[in-house]
A and B are shown apart, each in its own frame.
Chain A
Amino acid sequence: MTGRRWRALSAAVVVAATALVAACSSGESRGPGSGEPAGGDPRARITFQLKAEPEEKAVYESLTAAYGKQGGGPVELVPLGRKDHLARLSTAFAAGTPPDVFLLNYREFSPFVLRGAIEPVGPVVEEAGVRLDDYYEEPRAAFTYDGALQCMPQNISSMVVYWNTELFAKAGVAPPTSDWTFDELVAAARALTRGGVKGLGIEPTITRMAPVIWGNGGRVVDDLESPTRLTLDEPAAREALQRMAGLAREVSPDKESQAAQGLLEQFMTGKLAMFMSSRVEVPALREQAGLSFDVAPMPGMKQPAAILHSDAYCIAKGSQNKAAAARFIAYAVGQQGSTITALGGRTVPSLTSVAESPAFLTTAKEPKSSQVFLDNIPNLQHTPVVPAWPEIEDVIETELTRTFLDGVPLDETLKAIRAQADPLLQQR
């Protein structure tokens, strides 16, 4: 994707967003930040660090620009690549100069909240005019710790199946429906695997496998509140993993192919008909010329299940500008802010009213079946909150990869996973 193309996109988004915002604001009685919380000048300059690919960066630029037009203070964006966000956060905190506001994925939430990096966001955003009940409950529950809402959910994404409409048509495979079954998914993946195309990209990560395990009636840990061990070797979980591993060897790109080109890139270039991910891929996929795609639910083997993918706005404990930070967050998750980020394609809004509005559900832009994300909401589950969770994810991926790509027996890798991960899980 060239620089010129995403600059053009960014301009388009800004124009569209400001037009819409202008239309909405007339109907809004309360401006952002009408309540004045304590913690510094509410119009002070704040920094906002987030993980964003170039396509997404444009969305946030329009968000901060619109915030300024509505009388908000200046916001300095610090957009970083996927790998650099965490490293930069750690160093910024260690150096005593954390960003006032940062976006945190639920998967990365645990160490930050457990190690005291976060100023609980609930009271301050409520003071800034946010009515928490307007937001979906699941992400709020996930980001609640010690009885307080720690970070304000921006979105309520979940894992879905992305599918290439053209490859389906070419292979004569019926498009997935909102109630398709796991067997239909497998049949479609097999039918699509031909002539240099693979049917379904499968990543052996716990983020991708957890909903499959839940859908088979299994569980990931013994106790979500205070886990003591992983339960991937319990029959239901084990069976789900075993089926997916077998399927991976059949319909997923092999390791040479994956080392040469990632699953997303293979999907974008028509080498892969389906892959699993959250809402996050939409901006890049919309940018890809000649690609037509849609989303479908990930069917459960026995029952529907979905995994919460959510990002939330957090305020750093050391921030000197908590008032300004709260005011910005209130705007960003408010009607206008949510609408702007939803239009960018990146988010499934956590604000119910926007999620159910055309800004998100529009069929003018791909994916047409955005409703799938909302349908997932009743089935959402999440992984436990323990400080070593990111490392546990890495351990599981490293080991499962051996089974999924190298054909090492599953029982061997499950044993290795428990040996490494259980002690980590018990760390407090």
Chain B
Amino acid sequence: MRGARAGWLGLPFLLGAFLVVLLPLGLAAYLAFTDYYGFEAPRWSGTDNWARLAGDGQFWRSVGVTGVVAAIAVPIRIALAVGAALLLARQGGAAGAIGRTAAYLPSVVPEAAWALLWLWILNPLYGPLPAALRAVGAPVPGFLTEPWGARWGLVLVLAFQVGEAFVVALAARRTVPGALYDALAVEGASPWFTTTRLTLPVMAPILLLLTVRDLVVVVQNAFVPALLVTGGGPGNATLTAPLLVYERAFEYGELGYASTLSVALLVLTAAAAALPLWLAARLAQRQRR
């Protein structure tokens, strides 16, 4: 009885999810099998788009670029979010509040404003970051001019917007019972030992979930800085998959094939997320009592 009633309460959510998620997704899945340019009705083209996708080097290269950027950015983002969370977890009072605000702040800045800020920071002639690197005699990686420099630039733009992950990590850290830390303190464990052998392993299921979420976030968010900061260049060095989908759809007008690309990207992302999700579920089950 109670279960049935709870089910009814979920109805608005399910309806909303259907309307804003499933329906468009279904439509995109349909368009993925059509020739569609937006001017006339979609024309069924069967598996033509998929055959084209298989041989579309540009797309697979952009998936590679996305993968590389995510492979660098996600660990940095998770490390920053978790690092800040661990440092601030036991920091009360004004210092703690300032620290938490500082960690969250970059996520409050609108994406586009953040990207434009970085466009200035990375500017090869007028930007403070290249200037600072030159001042200390460090090599400047050519943030907007060299393929790897631009990828690093993209990583930098993405690295600091970790407010949500930080909050989740902070909450996760606070669920670790204090008695466990007391127990290790009595054993004389160093802070490093405590972090690596107690805190991180206990948080591991949540950290894995965070990683999956972050992977999805980065794959999606890599779009705005790639569009505004690097413009996909130099060459196609930072042409990430979402940016490619955008170009296909809105610059070349191939809405049908762009749908094929985005559905393929969704499947690839889901596949990349599946392993860590499975691992997280297993770890969580082990610890639950």
Residues from chain B with Cβ under 8 Å of A116 in the complex: 37, 39-40
**B145 near A256 (CB under 8 angstroms)?**
yes
Q: Which residue of A lies closest to B255 (CB)?
A: A94
**A259 near B124 (CB under 8 angstroms)?**
yes
* A256 and B252 in contact, given A112-B39, A115-B37, A117-B39 (Cβ under 8 angstroms): no
**A115 near B124 (CB under 8 angstroms)?**
no
**B253 near A111 (CB under 8 angstroms)?**
yes
Question: What's the interface size class on A, roughly?
Answer: 20 to 34
**A87 near B126 (CB under 8 angstroms)?**
no
* A260 and B123 in contact, given A115-B253, A401-B235 (Cβ under 8 angstroms): yes
Residues from chain A with Cβ under 8 Å of B246 in the complex: 87
How distant is the Cα of A256 from the Cα of B235 in the complex, in angstroms? 14
B144 within 8 A of A: yes
Residues from chain B with Cβ under 8 Å of A402 in the complex: 235
9 closest Cβ pairs, A-B complex: A94-B38, A87-B250, A260-B125, A117-B39, A259-B144, A256-B124, A93-B38, A115-B37, A255-B145
How distant is the Cα of A116 from the Cα of B38 in the complex, in angstroms? 10
Q: Considering residues B142, B145, B236, B255, which has the most beta carbons from chain A within 10 angstroms of its beta carbon?
A: B145
A388 within 8 A of B: yes
Q: Which of B177-194 contact A (CB under 8 A)?
A: none
Residues from chain A with Cβ under 8 Å of B38 in the complex: 90-91, 93-94, 117
Residues from chain A with Cβ under 8 Å of B141 in the complex: none
A68-105 vs B, Cβ < 8 Å mask (1 yes, 0 no): 00000000000000000011001101100000000000
Majority SS at the chain A contact face? helix
Residues from chain B with Cβ under 8 Å of A112 in the complex: 39, 253
How distant is the Cα of A111 from the Cα of B123 in the complex, in angstroms? 35
Partner of A111, one of B124, B236, B247, B252: B252
How distant is the Cα of A317 from the Cα of B236 in the complex, in angstroms? 35
CB of B30, distance to nearest CB on chain A (Å): 14
B234 within 8 A of A: yes
* A388 and B252 in contact, given A116-B39, A259-B144 (Cβ under 8 angstroms): yes
B233 within 8 A of A: yes
A409 within 8 A of B: no
Tell me how many residue pairs across A and B have CB atoms closer than 8 Å: 68
* A90 and B40 in contact, given A259-B144, A259-B145 (Cβ under 8 angstroms): no
* A398 and B235 in contact, given A115-B37, A115-B253, A317-B39 (Cβ under 8 angstroms): yes
Besides A111-B37, A259-B145, A401-B233, 16 more A-B contacts (Cβ < 8 Å) are: A90-B249, A90-B250, A90-B253, A93-B38, A94-B255, A111-B253, A116-B40, A117-B37, A117-B38, A259-B144, A260-B124, A388-B252, A390-B252, A402-B235, A405-B234, A406-B234
Question: What's the interface size class on B, roughly?
Answer: 20 to 34
Q: Which of B222-239 contact A (CB under 8 A)?
A: 233-236
B244-267 vs A, Cβ < 8 Å mask (1 yes, 0 no): 001101111101000000000000
Residues from chain B with Cβ under 8 Å of A406 in the complex: 234
Residues from chain A with Cβ under 8 Å of B235 in the complex: 398, 401-402
A371-402 vs B, Cβ < 8 Å mask (1 yes, 0 no): 00000000000000000101100100010011
A357 within 8 A of B: no
How distant is the Cα of A406 from the Cα of B235 in the complex, in angstroms? 10
Residues from chain B with Cβ under 8 Å of A94 in the complex: 38, 255
B4-46 vs A, Cβ < 8 Å mask (1 yes, 0 no): 0000000000000000000000000000000001111000000
A257 within 8 A of B: yes
Q: Which residue of B lies closest to A114 (CB)?
A: B37
A303 within 8 A of B: no
Residues from chain A with Cβ under 8 Å of B37 in the complex: 111, 115-117
Ordered by A's residue number, 26 sampled pairs between the chains whose C-beta atoms are within 8 Å are: A86-B250, A87-B250, A90-B249, A90-B253, A91-B38, A93-B39, A94-B38, A111-B37, A116-B37, A116-B39, A116-B40, A117-B38, A255-B234, A256-B145, A259-B124, A260-B125, A260-B127, A317-B39, A388-B252, A390-B251, A391-B252, A394-B247, A394-B251, A401-B233, A401-B235, A405-B234
Residues from chain A with Cβ under 8 Å of B127 in the complex: 260
**B40 near A115 (CB under 8 angstroms)?**
yes
A261 within 8 A of B: yes
Q: Which of A226-270 contact B (CB under 8 A)?
A: 255-257, 259-261
How distant is the Cα of A390 from the Cα of B246 in the complex, in angstroms? 14
How distant is the Cα of A117 from the Cα of B252 in the complex, in angstroms? 14
Residues from chain B with Cβ under 8 Å of A261 in the complex: 125-126
CB of A131, distance to nearest CB on chain B (Å): 30
**A91 near B252 (CB under 8 angstroms)?**
no
Residues from chain B with Cβ under 8 Å of A405 in the complex: 234
How distant is the Cα of A367 from the Cα of B109 in the complex, in angstroms? 42
* A115 and B39 in contact, given A90-B255, A398-B235, A398-B236 (Cβ under 8 angstroms): yes
How distant is the Cα of A401 from the Cα of B38 in the complex, in angstroms? 32
How distant is the Cα of A391 from the Cα of B236 in the complex, in angstroms? 13
**A91 near B250 (CB under 8 angstroms)?**
yes
Q: Which residue of B lies closest to A402 (CB)?
A: B235
Residues from chain B with Cβ under 8 Å of A260 in the complex: 123-127
CB of A261, distance to nearest CB on chain B (Å): 7
Q: Which residue of B lies closest to A86 (CB)?
A: B251
How distant is the Cα of A257 from the Cα of B123 in the complex, in angstroms? 9
Q: Which of A399-428 contact B (CB under 8 A)?
A: 401-402, 405-406
Q: Considering residues B37, B233, B249, B253, which has the most beta carbons from chain A within 10 angstroms of its beta carbon?
A: B253
How distant is the Cα of A132 from the Cα of B37 in the complex, in angstroms? 31
Residues from chain A with Cβ under 8 Å of B125 in the complex: 256-257, 260-261
CB of A353, distance to nearest CB on chain B (Å): 35
CB of A245, distance to nearest CB on chain B (Å): 16
Residues from chain B with Cβ under 8 Å of A391 in the complex: 251-252
How distant is the Cα of A327 from the Cα of B38 in the complex, in angstroms? 26
Q: Which residue of A lies closest to B231 (CB)?
A: A83
CB of B112, distance to nearest CB on chain A (Å): 12
**A256 near B39 (CB under 8 angstroms)?**
no
CB of B251, distance to nearest CB on chain A (Å): 6
Q: Considering residues A86, A256, A398, which has the most beta carbons from chain B within 10 angstroms of its beta carbon?
A: A256
Q: Considering residues B38, B125, B249, which has the most beta carbons from chain A within 10 angstroms of its beta carbon?
A: B38
How distant is the Cα of A406 from the Cα of B251 in the complex, in angstroms? 26
Q: Which residue of B lies closest to A92 (CB)?
A: B38
Residues from chain A with Cβ under 8 Å of B247 in the complex: 394
CB of A263, distance to nearest CB on chain B (Å): 14
Q: Which of A99-147 contact B (CB under 8 A)?
A: 111-112, 115-117
Q: Which residue of B lies closest to A118 (CB)?
A: B39
